[in-house]
Amino acid sequence: MESIFKRTHMCGLLRAGDIGKEVCLNGWIAKRRDLGGLIFCDVRDKTGISQVVFDDKIPKELFDKANSLRSEYVVGVKGEVRQRQSANPDIATGDVEIFASDLIIYSRSETPPIYIKDDDNVDMNLRLKYRYLDLRKKKMQDNLAFRGKVCKIARDYFYENGFTEVETPDLIAPTPEGSRDYIVPSRVEPGSFYALPQSPQLYKQMLMVGGTDRYIQIARCFRDEDLRADRQPEFTQIDMEMSFIDEDDIIAVNEGFLKKLFKEAMGIDLKTPLPRMTWDEAMTRYGSDKPDTRFGFELHDLGQLDVIKNTEFKVFADALASGGDVRGICITGGAGKYSRKQIDKMTEHIRSFGAKGMVWIKTSADDISSSVNKFFDKDALKKIAAEFDAGNDDLILIVADKPKVVFDSLGYLRRAIADEMGMLDPKQFNLLWVVDFPLFEYSEEEGRYVAEHHPFTHPKDEDIPMLEEHPEKCHARAYDIVMNGVEAGGGSIRIHDRELQDRMFKVLGMDEETIQSKFGFLVEAFKYGAPPHGGLAYGLDRLVMLLLGEETIRDVIAFPKNQSAQCMVSGAPGPTDADQLDELGLELKK
Amino acid sequence: MESIFKRTHMCGLLRAGDIGKEVCLNGWIAKRRDLGGLIFCDVRDKTGISQVVFDDKIPKELFDKANSLRSEYVVGVKGEVRQRQSANPDIATGDVEIFASDLIIYSRSETPPIYIKDDDNVDMNLRLKYRYLDLRKKKMQDNLAFRGKVCKIARDYFYENGFTEVETPDLIAPTPEGSRDYIVPSRVEPGSFYALPQSPQLYKQMLMVGGTDRYIQIARCFRDEDLRADRQPEFTQIDMEMSFIDEDDIIAVNEGFLKKLFKEAMGIDLKTPLPRMTWDEAMTRYGSDKPDTRFGFELHDLGQLDVIKNTEFKVFADALASGGDVRGICITGGAGKYSRKQIDKMTEHIRSFGAKGMVWIKTSADDISSSVNKFFDKDALKKIAAEFDAGNDDLILIVADKPKVVFDSLGYLRRAIADEMGMLDPKQFNLLWVVDFPLFEYSEEEGRYVAEHHPFTHPKDEDIPMLEEHPEKCHARAYDIVMNGVEAGGGSIRIHDRELQDRMFKVLGMDEETIQSKFGFLVEAFKYGAPPHGGLAYGLDRLVMLLLGEETIRDVIAFPKNQSAQCMVSGAPGPTDADQLDELGLELKK
């Protein structure tokens, strides 16, 4: 007996043009119907399904075998492609069917615990436990193939542009305070540990010091943090770095990549150069450093309006007096759409950003009303509405507080409302660069400035003189690529000058010991001639999710972890032997 | 001031055709000579070097700046390409030099602790500590670029052949007895651990169960074992798997890859199909399951010769009586070359394989002599020599012992001697498949049969009936690709039938609990319809090393670990915070 029926065609690719051919398919039984003298089976592989017919004119042994088929049995089928009596327009192979002349059953299946259907909405943990069944869905295989294609396009592009793909190590040095590092105990030096990299950052900078000049890697990264819908303990970056360049070079190279990516993966002609927007503009117009520009609802600064400046309404007056902001957005068509109760819910939600309240104004054809009628007469409200060019059915939402609270609140609201109003078209892709980020962020928790990106980020040249005096005013040579309100990637020009690096460390309040233990080897490397360099890293999982219009990165990863960082298929993490711990010089804490 | 001089050319690529052009180079100062009114500098990037000349007709400020240059300073230089007065035929750019008109010093360098010279033979640990300097050597950058190219060719080939690149997880379930697993403590479940994968084996098989059909990945793997020259704690595999195929399909697909690889990376036309040799033949002819076929010195079985069969020489007689072997090799031209002392050294060396001794015979034009003259007269010796078609200056080496000891000893000797005699041409590539491996190996240590490859390896169909009765006689549907005596890759057809898998587990003496804890999820997956499948994995580091003719994989890895599994650049592994251990539920053993 043959052990394999060698495939001639994939199940999803048979067409009317194949009628008359003898073919051999391999795949899984997706469906089986028994019509007495006829058995119909749908045979599935990753390309789709074909209908196979067994009639009672075939040898009884074969017919009986066909009769024994059940869902998810794995089979090989030989037969002739014939025209289907009544075509099925819903599937690509709907014009044809195979009249079976031979059948091999490779393996049988118990009743599968989940349906193999693209739109089956079973619990995610169950899908992940039976991932090998979940992956049989055409959508999932298409997603994996699409992800593979994105990687291929990235590697092709950077290879063609003179980049060298270099693998950096996964077993690296642990850093003090690296509490979000996964660590790996060493057996050779019990009591010592490796860390898994949160990114290849330090090694790719060393490659630049080593003369690699143009580096690319699609790199696995690890971060032990509490999980959200779009976070995984292990994730993948498309990571690049270049020497002897400035930000225009990095942006140009990456726009070339994005153009190719959109053309080849999506069939979309991306117009480049992409818009660039400073961080300041992004915040003041969109309340976000990752603005979604597919719709309006832009923020307006109301602090300059006389009716606001001179108000006795304490919330506004106090905010302005203490250096805060009064800003608002106008939801076109939102007045009739949102009830007071719904607006109260929004107010509730923005408390998580620190907002203590929200003011609303509604316009209609013949009236204007607000939650602050006591403080603002209709004329004053109309002046505010005029600032937004408000129409006849609009909802204005105003927040007054510290700038960060105002931006976070309004930035969240404009996108959440646009989403609710169905204005976020996943097939429209708005990309832009956000540039000139603040160099530092003041950490209330640590009582010092921390690096907004990382301590190797180069300040804007014109800001270097005020590094020590006015760190809060310094901007960075950093840039994010933003796609539909999501940060698809980010990077910066790095410091290559040791004196400037030393000044940065000082502003960050890092003492020699901390510098040595965290970055000692990179600082050491910089003693021997570092070239000007910079780079960028894309979050691959998120990028693929955005392009596919998926709502979770779990649908673009073959074997993702669940929200508790568990692998539902294998049961990881799990216990280990006491012997092994012993060998590693460790014991479980009682 | 410009912060970057934008590069027009790479340093190593200027040619006579560029004479007259205004160019801009970026790179490192490789050498600087001061001839009074002239300063010569070699500027280096990864492509090579160009000579730059500063004469005293340029502005004094510029000349002084040039005068301050030292080795490994990083610079940008603008100037005109001119013909060199006396060409330097040793370098590719030797016809030209650049007359500098402007210079920027990006950064300075202390005196580098190692020389940036391809053939500098400094201690490996020092090279690894200053890897960022070591990588500036052209050879090292070329090696990295070559490795990148090998990956590119692999991905292109498999992509073109319908394979999907899928990333499998790095944080997987630990296995009991997985003592060579690196483990990663979980913070979310203190006391639980992930393991880093020794290979993507289980996950790629799950992908086949999931319908991926053709999988490729260039995957990082981890193994915590004592290191040898060609072993690293983390290493990389080119890993592939296919469904609905047999070994001929796997071999054909991979020969296609190897053909493309040799053509595009080496400029060599590889003749396919490659030879296939059974494991039995490889052992009896070469004493090795990874035969180096670039030279002869094949093993001969002497047990059938009357002079051996009937000898009173106890070593031979005992070996044969107890089911062992008497085998030998003939080193053509070895009689005059090897002294008795050197032969004693060989004998000493093969003790590590368990050999208790070795017999030699030397031929010359008019005599034959041996270490066993007492037991074999010249006629008998001549009969043995005739078996090898020995000539006039040959050295015959004979080992008698258990087959494994004989094969290991002679297999080692033939290659070590060929190496010593300069017969191993690194530019000649002999590839072959070794097939039909034994399915099991009897482990004296464990007192049971263990899987020669892994427990999912499919037995040869004709051997299945004797699985339980004669496991020692069963062969596997396994195949290795062997290149110049090194295993470049290996794989097998996997079992997809649950009953056969159960029989395998039984023969391996595995109880239900062990099966569940080690492979439970794969066994579970196989309940729901597993396709026939198989695959292969190449050791990328070793493959690249072989192709480049390097002697250590450390020269083809950007940041390798040293022999103590340390990263000399970063100092990994290192200590971690007590707090972090605490959070992981661990403490250091006192």
DSSP string, A292-342: -TTS----EE-TTSHHHHT---HHHHHHHHTT-EEEEEEETT-TTT--HHH
Q: Which residues of A touch B106 (CB under 8 A)?
A: 244, 496, 530-532
Closest CB from B151, B222, B530 relative to A74: B530
pLDDT tens, residue by residue, B41-85: 999 999 999 999 999 899 999 999 999 999 999 999 999 999 998
Cross-strand bridge partners of residue B222: B234
What length is written for chain B?
590
CB pairs under 8 A between A and B: 369
Element holding A206 (H helix, E strand): helix A201-209
Element holding B27 (H helix, E strand): strand B22-35
Q: At B478, give phi and psi (nearest 5°).
A: -120, 155
Name the burial class of residue B342, with classes exposed (0-12), middle (13-18) and buried (19+) by CB atoms within 10 angstroms of its CB.
Answer: middle
Which pairing describes strands A193-195 and B22-35: parallel, antiparallel, or unpaired? unpaired
Q: Nearest-5° angle of CA B426, CA B430, CA B434? A: 135
pLDDT given for residue B590 in this prediction: 77
pLDDT tens, residue by residue, A337-377: 999 999 999 999 999 999 999 999 999 999 999 999 999 99
Closest CA of chain A from B169, distance in Å: 7
| ipTM confidence score | 0.95
Which 3 state secondary structure label does DSSP give A475? strand
Which 3 state secondary structure label does DSSP give B353? helix
Nearest-Cα residue of chain A relative to residue B560: A169
Which 3 state secondary structure label does DSSP give A359? strand
Closest CB from A166, A222, A246 relative to B4: A246
The reply to whether residue A236 touches residue B167, judged by beta carbons under 8 angstroms, is yes
Tokens at residue A164, please? 């060298």
Structure-derived torsion over alpha carbons of residues B445, B448, B452, B455, reported in degrees to the nearest 10: -130
Examine the pLDDT at B510 and tell me if it is beyond 90. Answer: no
pLDDT (average), residues B567-581: 90
Residue A1 binned pLDDT confidence (cut-offs 50, 70, 90) = very low
Which 3 state secondary structure label does DSSP give A119? coil
The reply to whether residue B580 touches residue A179, judged by beta carbons under 8 angstroms, is yes
Which 3 state secondary structure label does DSSP give A490? strand
Q: Which residue type sits at B163? A: F
Quote the CA–CA distance of B202 and B519 in Å, as a whole number. 8
Closest CA of chain B from A536, distance in Å: 19
Closest CA of chain A from B298, distance in Å: 37
pLDDT tens, residue by residue, A199-236: 999 999 999 999 999 999 999 999 998 766 668 999 99
Quote the CA–CA distance of A87 and B490 in Å, as a whole number. 47
Which 3 state secondary structure label does DSSP give B291? coil
Tokens at residue B401, please? 């012992």
The reply to whether residue A183 touches residue B184, judged by beta carbons under 8 angstroms, is yes
Examine the pLDDT at A63 and tell me if it is beyond 70. Answer: yes
pLDDT given for residue A2 in this prediction: 61
Q: Which regions of A384-505 does DSSP assign to beta strands (E)?
A: 395-401, 431-435, 440-443, 448-451, 478-483, 486-493
Quote the CA–CA distance of B536 and B254 in Å, as a whole number. 8
DSSP state of B83: E
The reply to whether residue A194 touches residue B572, judged by beta carbons under 8 angstroms, is yes
Examine the pLDDT at A517 and tell me if it is beyond 90. Answer: no
State what percent of residues in chain A have pLDDT above 90.
86
Tokens at residue A540, please? 């691959």
Contact yes or no for B526/B498 (Cβ under 8 A)? yes
Closest CA of chain A from B314, distance in Å: 46
CA neighbor of A375 nearest in space, from A313, A320, A315: A313
Higher pLDDT, B327 or B453: B327
Examine the pLDDT at A590 and tell me if it is beyond 80. Answer: no
Q: Which residues of A touch B26 (CB under 8 A)?
A: 243-244, 531
Structure-derived torsion over alpha carbons of residues A462, A464, A469, A473, reported in degrees to the nearest 10: 50
State what percent of residues in chain B have pLDDT above 70.
98
Nearest-Cα residue of chain B relative to residue A10: B213
Q: Which regions of A9-56 does DSSP assign to beta strands (E)?
A: 22-35, 38-45, 48-55
Closest CA of chain B from A283, distance in Å: 29
pLDDT given for residue A225 in this prediction: 85
Q: Which residue type sits at B94? A: G
Q: Which residues of B touch A107 (CB under 8 A)?
A: 496-498, 526, 529-531
Q: Which residues of B touch A582 (CB under 8 A)?
A: 589
Mean of per-residue pLDDT scores for chain B: 94
Nearest-Cα residue of chain A relative to residue B194: A573
Quote the CA–CA distance of A540 and A325 in Å, as a whole number. 37
Quote the CA–CA distance of B290 and B282 in Å, as a whole number. 7
Examine the pLDDT at A179 and tell me if it is beyond 90. Answer: no
Which pairing describes strands A193-195 and A183-185: parallel, antiparallel, or unpaired? antiparallel
Cβ neighbours of residue A467 under 8 Å, at least 6 residues apart?
A459, A474, A503, A504, A507
Contact yes or no for A253/A161 (Cβ under 8 A)? yes
Q: Which residues of B touch A577 (CB under 8 A)?
A: 176-177, 179
pLDDT given for residue B1 in this prediction: 47
pLDDT (average), residues B456-472: 95
pLDDT (average), residues A140-148: 98
Q: At B124, give phi and psi (nearest 5°).
A: -60, -40
Q: Which regions of A84-213 does DSSP assign to beta strands (E)?
A: 96-107, 164-165, 183-185, 193-195
Residue with tokens 């691959």: A540
Contact yes or no for B397/B413 (Cβ under 8 A)? yes
pLDDT (average), residues B229-253: 94
pLDDT tens, residue by residue, B249-291: 999 999 999 999 999 999 999 999 999 999 999 999 999 999 9
Tokens at residue A79, please? 């037969």
Nearest-Cα residue of chain B relative to residue A196: B184
Closest CB from A4, A110, A496 relative to B532: A4
DSSP state of A350: H
Which 3 state secondary structure label does DSSP give B67? helix
Contact yes or no for B320/B303 (Cβ under 8 A)? yes
DSSP state of B264: I
Quote the CA–CA distance of A55 and A52 in Å, as a whole number. 10
pLDDT given for residue A228 in this prediction: 66
Closest CA of chain A from B490, distance in Å: 22
Quote the CA–CA distance of B455 and A293 in Å, as a whole number. 55
Examine the pLDDT at B502 and tell me if it is beyond 50. Answer: yes
Quote the CA–CA distance of B402 and B28 in Å, as a whole number. 60
The reply to whether residue B572 touches residue A173, judged by beta carbons under 8 angstroms, is yes
Q: Domains in chain A and their CATH numbers?
A: 11-107 (2.40.50.140), 140-183+205-278+431-557 (3.30.930.10), 295-420 (3.30.1360.30)
Other Cβ atoms less than 10 A from the Cβ of A136: the count is 27
CA neighbor of B244 nearest in space, from A206, A243, A400, A45: A45
Q: Which residues of A touch B180 (CB under 8 A)?
A: none
Q: Which residues of A touch B188 (CB under 8 A)?
A: 564-565, 573
Quote the CA–CA distance of A180 and A198 in Å, as a whole number. 8
Quote the CA–CA distance of A328 and A333 in Å, as a whole number. 16
DSSP state of A46: T
Nearest-Cα residue of chain A relative to residue B186: A573
pLDDT (average), residues B548-562: 95
Other Cβ atoms less than 10 A from the Cβ of B199: the count is 17
Contact yes or no for A27/A74 (Cβ under 8 A)? yes
CA neighbor of B25 nearest in space, from B95, B76, B96: B76
Quote the CA–CA distance of B399 and B454 in Å, as a whole number. 31
Diameter of chain B measured on Cα atoms: 95
The residue of A143, A576, A588 whose CB has the most chain B CBs within 10 angstroms, and thus the best one to mutate to test that interface, is: A576
Q: Which residues of A touch B130 (CB under 8 A)?
A: 528
pLDDT given for residue B453 in this prediction: 73
Where b means 16+ CB within 10 Å and e means fewer, B505-523 reads bebbebeeebbebbbbbbb
Q: At A503, give phi and psi (nearest 5°).
A: -65, -40
Q: Which residues of B touch A155 (CB under 8 A)?
A: 152, 155
Which pairing describes strands A22-35 and A74-83: parallel, antiparallel, or unpaired? antiparallel
Q: Which residues of A touch B220 (CB under 8 A)?
A: 167, 170, 220
Q: Which regions of A345-485 does DSSP assign to beta strands (E)?
A: 359-363, 368-370, 395-401, 431-435, 440-443, 448-451, 478-483
Q: Which residues of B touch A253 (CB under 8 A)?
A: none
Quote the CA–CA distance of B118 and B129 in Å, as a whole number. 17
Nearest-Cα residue of chain B relative to residue A44: B211
Tokens at residue B126, please? 């020092």
CA neighbor of A41 nearest in space, from A97, A116, A121: A97
